[in-house]
Structure 1
Amino acid sequence: MSRGAYVEKQLKAQIDEWNAKLDQWEARAREAEAKTKISYEERLSKLRQQRDNAQSKLEELQSAGEKAWEDLKSSAEKTFANLRAGIERVSSHSQ
C-alpha cells in the first residue's frame, strides 16, 4: 500500500471514526448523572489525549521523507493500537 493510501485510507479514516465515537460519548456524558458523568469525563479525557497523539503521528507521517516514513509508520501503528484499545474498552462499558 502506498504511503498516501495508507495515511488517507487507514489512519485518517480511523481518526475520523474515533472522533465520531468520542462525540457520541460526550453527548452521553452531558446527559449522565453526576457520578457516571465523572467516570465518562475521566475516560474521555484519556481518549482525547490518545487521539491527539494519534493525530500528531498522522501529521508526522504526512510530512516525513521517504526514509523516515518507515520508522514513523511503526511508531504510528503502536499509537493507533493504543487508542483503538482505549476506544474498545470505553465502547464495551458504554453499551
Structure 2
Amino acid sequence: MSTKEAYKQKIEADVELAQVKLAQLKAEAKNSAADVRIEYENQIEELEQKIGATKTKLKELSEAGEEAWEHMKSGAESAWNTLSAAVKGNK
C-alpha cells in the first residue's frame, strides 16, 4: 500500500468517526430542551461543514497523481485537523 493510500484511509476512518459523532449530536438534540437544542444545532452545523470540507480535500487528494499528492497533503491535513478538533470539542 502506498503512503498516499494509507494516508487516505486514515482520513476516511476519521471522517467516519466524525459522522458517528454527528449522528449522536442529532439524536441528543432531539431529546433536549429548546435552549440546549439550539447549542446542539450549532454544533451539528459546524461539524457538517467540517466533514464536508474534509471530504472535499480527501476527494482532491484521491484524484491527485502520486507526485501532486504531496503538495495537496497539507490542505487535506489542515481540514482533517480542524475536523478532528471539532469532534474532540464536541465529546
Q: TM-score, normalised by structure 1?
A: 0.89
Task: Give 1:66 shift.
Answer: 1.9
Residue 66 of structure 1: SS of its match in structure 2? coil
Q: Deviations over 1:37-75 (max 9, x none)?
A: 001001110110011000101111111112220111111
Q: Which has the higher contact order (CA 8 A, sep 6+)?
A: 2
What is aligned with 1:88?
88
Corresponding pairs, count? 90
TM normalised by structure 2 equals 0.93
Q: Which runs of 5 or more structure 2 residues have no equivalent in the other structure?
A: none
Q: Deviations over 1:10-40 (max 9, x none)?
A: 1111101111111011100111110000010
Give the 4+ runs in structure 1 shifted more than 4 A.
none
Question: Which amino acid letter does the alignment assign opposite residue 7 of structure 2?
Answer: Y
Partner of 1:19: 19
**Structure 2 counterparts to residues 8-47 of structure 1, below 5 A:** 8=9, 10-47=10-47
Identify, as 1 or 2, the structure richer in helix.
Answer: 1
1:6 alignment counterpart: 7
CA RMSD of aligned residues (A): 1.0
The sequence identity of aligned pairs, in percent, is 33
